[in-house]
A and B are shown apart, each in its own frame.
Chain A
Amino acid sequence: MSKLLWIPVAVVLLALPLYLDASWLKAGQYMMIGAVGAIGLTLLSGQAGQLSLAHGFFLLVGATSYSVLSGTDDDLVGLGLNPLLALIGAVAISALAGVAFAPVAGRVRGIYLGVASLALVFLGLYLGQAAGSLTGGTSTGRAPATFELFGFSFSNEGTLIVAGVPLRGTERLWYLFLILLALSYWLAKGAVGTRIGRSWRAVRDNEAAATAMGVDVRRTKAGVFAVSSAYAGLAGVMIVLWFDILKPDENEFGTYGINTSIAFLAMAIIGGLGSIPGAVAGAVVVYGLPQLLTLYSTDLGWFTGSVTPVLVSSFVYGAAIVLVVLFEPGGLAAIGRRIKELRS
């Protein structure tokens, strides 16, 4: 995207909380969570060519780490750290969890990693339930500490009025998420354009050639897995702040399960594997659609009985994956490029 185009985009995103009501902002925040996670996955699967279905697991690692590091509950393990430190710590722990998977992530290739990573989803399901003192257990879960930045609380606390609009918890969280997304985006862009990004692509395209040029293939694979896990961990922190609760799943199809992993993969594929703006666009489709359909559900009147917004969205992104592979492997990113070329 050209540099000038960023200015209006930024202005609109910054101004939205002044105009939209809370339910719309919540929907937007959800898309931002998706975007952060999808950027991480597109680095791993698109740039480095390694499939992962473990994104849900690392979401859980990030979510739990934040809750434990910042937690102050009496009956649960909690360190009561400053929320910013807890957020950074949670991202670091998620990255380390990714590193711990290095013996597998570094050795197996491409699609095999996707299958191997399924193991983590099942492990996460078990650990989430078994480690109740950390996660709060499946029945009650645990409330995360409210996020705070240098004494400023991202809750309804205190009054903050901008342009006649009171900025309450939801509005404030919007800005927090926007900062986190912008940072995630900027960091990923920097990595992709330089040495580390080249080593990822080299590993994806030809391991023998990468090796001959001095790239340690095993280390690179493990490294990009850790980076992607860190992004998922950040998305996990965002998700507990969004739900305002950490609740481990009861089955493998919950917030941190297989379906979530697949949804993130769908974002990366639909956006165009390897493209960072594409990952954001993919997140808008995959995580935006169920939110928007829910907001419009009464107006639309489509949703009766078993047909729910989540179901319709699943059909849409399932079909979108098929269509992208069949007709436009570059995904939305390639479509965007083509439109740009047509206009110029």
Chain B
Amino acid sequence: MTTFLQLMLNGLGKGAVFALLALGFVVIFKATEVVNFAHGSLVLFGGYLVLVTKDTVGWAAAAVIGIVSAGLLALAVERLLLARSRHADPFSLALLTIGVDVIITEEVVRRLGVSLPFIGDAWDAKPLQFAGVTLFRTHLVALGVAAVLITAFFLAFRYTTWGIALRAQAENPEAAALVGIRRSRVTASAWLIAGLLAGVAVLFIATQDFSGAGLSRGTHSIALAAFPAAIIGGLDSTAGAIVGGLAVGLVDALSTEYISFAFAKSAVFLVMLVVLVVRPAGLFGTRETTRV
């Protein structure tokens, strides 16, 4: 029973991190209908900046630098590349993000070389004992941080003018433009948020607790699990991203324990396939209606 409890907590902890990634992903999709394949490279970039700055400025400041840089990189990608191809459809823009992903990922991986650094200094490898159960501090902090960020996001999404603008644009871009919502601003803010969230997520992913592997190409591939998370919840549903993220975390933890570590990677993707077949729009997504 205690193992099961540990498992659930591990799963939810990981799931919270996937939820952050999936949320960023969904925000971009909602605002622009672009599937961002460069999400994993934002994660790597944020992590890399933490790594190179933490010895000089200390971990906490480095973490902030990493988060902000990932956000700024996302913003730069949107402003300098996507925004300049106004005539391109979301399909082409998604392809463009694949190109961006290749460049950023290869460069960060090259710079990392053979080192596989862990970057979750504040919480990594500091297990807690609670009622006879050993708990990973990383997962607990991840849950807490994710809860705070996600709550803040939803409050902003619901009550601020920014949130209204984003929802309006997602609902009906032309009408939103007519009432004076500036598409470029909404889009840029969506990318910025996605980047910031990716920067937060990497602080938990590249840890011994989470993956047992430091910052590397593997981090990018872990971040790919944001795809199944977003698809399971529904690509255009922010609440779905949270549920999807938690589901992916749990599936990952349970299949690692009960099947095998090697299988766990494909397990989350297989769950995604099942969801796609049964509900192509995801659990909370809106069904696309055919318009002619």
Contact of A107 among B107, B231, B276, B290 (CB under 8 A): B276
Flag the segment in A3-11, A114-122, A237-245 that touches B: A114-122
Name B34's closest neighbour in chain A (CB-CB): A111
Q: Contact: A115 with B35, CB < 8 Å?
A: yes
How many pairs of A and B residues are in contact by the CB < 8 Å rule? 128
Q: Contact: A51 with B99, CB < 8 Å?
A: no
Q: Contact: B262 with A319, CB < 8 Å?
A: no
Flag the segment in A164-172, A296-304, A322-330 that touches B: A322-330
Flag the segment in A20-28, A78-86, A225-233, A310-318 that touches B: A310-318
Is A88 engaged at the interface, CB distance under 8 Å to the other chain? Answer: no
Contact of B106 among A51, A318, A325 (CB under 8 A): A318
Is A209 engaged at the interface, CB distance under 8 Å to the other chain? Answer: yes
Instruction: Number of A interface residues at 8 Å Cβ cutoff, please give it.
Output: 47
Known: A318-B100, A329-B88. Is A209-B292 also a contact (CB below 8 A)? yes
Name A306's closest neighbour in chain B (CB-CB): B110
Q: Contact: B269 with A119, CB < 8 Å?
A: yes
Name B217's closest neighbour in chain A (CB-CB): A253
Contact of A307 among B94, B102, B110 (CB under 8 A): B110
Flag the segment in A67-75, A124-132, A182-190 that touches B: A124-132
Q: How far is it, in angstroms, between the C-alpha of A111 and the C-alpha of B111 when the chains are bound?
A: 31
Q: How far is it, in angstroms, between the C-alpha of A213 and the C-alpha of B10 when the chains are bound?
A: 52
Q: Contact: A49 with B91, CB < 8 Å?
A: yes
Q: Mark B71-101, 1 if CB is under 8 A from A, else 0.
A: 0000000000100110010111111101111
The interface centre, meaning the residue of A122, A123, A306 with most chain B CB atoms within 10 A of its CB, is A122
Q: How far is it, in angstroms, between the C-alpha of A318 and the C-alpha of B272 when the chains are bound?
A: 28
Residues from chain B with Cβ under 8 Å of A103 in the complex: 277
Name B292's closest neighbour in chain A (CB-CB): A208
Name B231's closest neighbour in chain A (CB-CB): A115
Query: B235 to nearest A CB, angstroms?
Result: 8
Contact of B273 among A116, A318, A321 (CB under 8 A): A116
Is B180 engaged at the interface, CB distance under 8 Å to the other chain? Answer: no
Q: Contact: B84 with A326, CB < 8 Å?
A: yes
Known: A111-B90, A111-B94, A112-B276. Is A314-B270 also a contact (CB below 8 A)? no
Residues from chain A with Cβ under 8 Å of B224 in the complex: 118, 258
Residues from chain A with Cβ under 8 Å of B54 in the complex: none
Contact of B221 among A119, A129, A258, A329 (CB under 8 A): A258
Query: A214 to nearest B CB, angstroms?
Result: 16
Residues from chain B with Cβ under 8 Å of A38 in the complex: none
Q: How far is it, in angstroms, between the C-alpha of A315 and the C-alpha of B100 when the chains are bound?
A: 9
Is B183 engaged at the interface, CB distance under 8 Å to the other chain? Answer: no
Residues from chain B with Cβ under 8 Å of A110 in the complex: 91
Residues from chain B with Cβ under 8 Å of A108 in the complex: 276, 280
Q: How far is it, in angstroms, between the C-alpha of A7 and the C-alpha of B93 when the chains are bound?
A: 39
Name A116's closest neighbour in chain B (CB-CB): B276
Query: A210 to nearest B CB, angstroms?
Result: 11
* Chain B residues close to A by CB (< 8 Å): 35, 81, 84-85, 88, 90-96, 98-103, 106-107, 110-111, 113, 217-218, 221, 224, 227-228, 231, 235, 262-263, 265-266, 269-270, 272-273, 276-277, 280, 288, 290-292
| A and B contact pairs by CB, cutoff 8 A, 8 listed | A111-B91, A116-B231, A125-B265, A126-B265, A126-B266, A251-B217, A325-B92, A329-B92
* Chain A residues close to B by CB (< 8 Å): 49, 51, 103-104, 107-112, 114-116, 118-119, 122-123, 125-126, 129-130, 206-209, 251-253, 258, 262, 265-266, 269, 306-307, 311, 314-315, 317-322, 325-326, 329
Interface pairs A-B: 9 shortest CB-CB: A321-B99, A318-B102, A119-B269, A318-B103, A122-B266, A325-B96, A322-B99, A208-B292, A306-B110
Given A51-B95, A104-B277, A115-B231, output 13 extra A-B contacts at Cβ < 8 Å. Answer: A49-B91, A108-B280, A122-B265, A126-B262, A130-B262, A130-B263, A252-B221, A252-B265, A266-B99, A311-B106, A315-B103, A318-B103, A321-B98
